[in-house]
Amino acid sequence: MMFYFSNNLEVVSLHIEDDVWKRFTVYQSAETTQHFLKKCYKEIENKDIETKSYDNCFAFMYYLEQGEVFYKQASLSPLSIRPILLFYGLIHLIKACLLTVDPFYPNSTSVLAHGVTTRKRKKRHYKFLHDEIKVQKNGLCTFFSEQLFHVKHLEGEKFHMIDLLKLVVELDDVMLHILRQPNMIALERMDDNKWGIPKEIYDSYYMDGKRLKEYLNGKYSEVIIWEEEKLKLPAFQKQGMISPPFRYHIFNQNLYIPAEKYSNMELPDMIVHYLLLYNLSMISRYETEWWIDLIKTTPNSDYPIIKSFLEITEKKGPLIVEEYLRKKLL
């Protein structure tokens, strides 16, 4: 199952208007899924490819199927319980991804916990934007971050919700309207799959052209081809995937980079959405009074941002996973 991208940006888009779950149809056959896993295991030089690909093909399919059930149920459910359904939907999709890189997953109960902690009791005048969570040593968060994206050293890291939300590019309009500042700056679409660097990026990063090129080359895990003040991203053109610090907006099909330098600006989207959904699901379950009051009375800026994020992650979560799996088919 291949996806090709033309020079027309509208064709390059991930077609968010389509049903993303149709793209998972290719994995609904034990035979084709076993062949897919065999291909994955050959790349990691696993010795028992035939046996493990057979053993894991049904678990892989069931993870995807269960993830789809959670997401579809979330779309039909009230906002009050939607974070829980979306979080567990994403967890199941992540577990399917893990089976493509670890034939023995889960080989320990330590990787089954969520791997994140948050405050058990919210303080008076609590605001979600100011809340923070902490990544634990063991659990799914650190495990999939390292296995899928080679992101290490998350243990003990604390993340503020506002910093994570700034990395959700589709929140750009909401963040600008509510916080009066942009969270992302759009690259300028040029001809021949080139992207121009707008002047405000140089100003925001306090860098000249040479320093900005060095900075982005060091942050981006793939190859950047520079032509004066324009850049090409061959991996994005070939695979339709983009790595941080660049972000792809699934609704307007444009590329962005953070409006300013953040310490966590290199976090992949899957990790960002996992951390945000974890905290929202915990609030939905254990901070019922604050959560229902937020939904019913919308007392502050938390509500429009949270509601917008849940609408975005419902669409983007499955797309992120589908992109990850599709890359392995190329």
Could you count the other beta carbons within 10 Å of the beta carbon of residue 45?
7
Cα(273)–Cα(309) distance, integer angstroms = 9
Task: State percent of the chain over pLDDT 90.
Answer: 72
Mean local confidence (pLDDT), 73-100: 97
How confident is the model over 100-155, as pLDDT tens digits?
Answer: 999 999 988 889 999 999 876 666 678 899 999 999 999 999 999 999 999 988 99
| C-alpha closest to that of 64 among 107, 34, 93 | 93
DSSP string, 205-233: HT--HHHHHHHHHHH-SS--EEETTEEE-
CA 215 to chain CA centroid, nearest Å:
23
Q: Where in the chain are the domains?
A: 19-159+269-329, 184-258
Mean local confidence (pLDDT), 73-78: 96
pLDDT above 70 for 187:
yes
pLDDT band at 262, cuts 50/70/90? confident
Alpha-carbon torsion 106, 323, 325, 215, what sign? negative
CA 63 to chain CA centroid, nearest Å:
18
Residue 215 has a pLDDT of 93
